[in-house]
Amino acid sequence: MPPPSRPFICAILPANPSRHDPTLRENTTLINHAPTPDQVAIHPPAPLILRPMMLDDVDNVMDIESQVYTQPWSARGYRHELTRNDLAHYQVLLWDDGAEAPLLVGYTGYWLIVDEVHISTIVVRPDWRGRGLGELLFLNALLQASAQGATIATLEVRRTNLVAQLLYKKYDFVVMGERPHYYNDNGEDALVMTLEPLDDIALANLRRHWTILRARLQMVSPSVGERVQ
């Protein structure tokens, strides 16, 4: 199949970002540019909170990584992304009902290169799936990147991950290529999916989806606060 319509970003991304672990020089400066003062594009209904990922979140992120991936990314890699990569943008989703310490239930990350956003990760804690939280993270990344100047969005998805593919197609992503044997854990191929252009029509569609999703989250939120011990 042909390569993505805009191969520029693919030449910059590591061959397999999920296993990239560059040399880290410790730095506590958080690099996370965003279009709004509080650095998120949308605001979910309470007690859900969406905010930029910080260094203090990395341990909780790694806890989820170990539950989701057979070959999780390293804490060192995330710290590098947060402190040394100007292209990287990460957000976390918290459940904060005031009864206990906020619980990190999901996170997402993307790279923004000129006008192209590459969504690199969308993860929800396994026992919190099926409630629209992954879609919330995905939608925020698209809207935030658009506000930062992105006009095209790309991502990779496992060939067998039909649930994720349906979500991306819902947002008008189309398959533009593939990466054979992309995933290290089992050698599975990745499909490259693209949304282009990310223009006013696409943004209107994203906002329509957000209106629907917000209503769903408002109905679900009171019942998702039961923490699995």
| Torsion angle of C-alpha atoms 128, 131, 135, 136, degrees rounded to 10 | -80
Q: How far apart are the first and last CA of the chain?
A: 46
CB 156 within 8 A of CB 175: no
Which residues have a catalytic role annotated? 156, 168
What residues have CB less than 8 Å from 152, skipping those under 6 apart?
5, 6, 115, 116, 117, 194, 195, 196, 197, 198
Rounded Cα–Cα distance for residues 170 and 205 (Å): 10
Side-chain-facing half-sphere of 123: CA atoms under 13 Å: 23
Q: How far apart are CA 78 and CA 61, in angstroms?
A: 9
Q: The dihedral of CA 67, 71, 76, 80: what is its sign?
A: negative
With b for 16 or more beta-carbon neighbours within 10 A and e for fewer, the 170-182 pattern comes to ebbbebbbebeeb
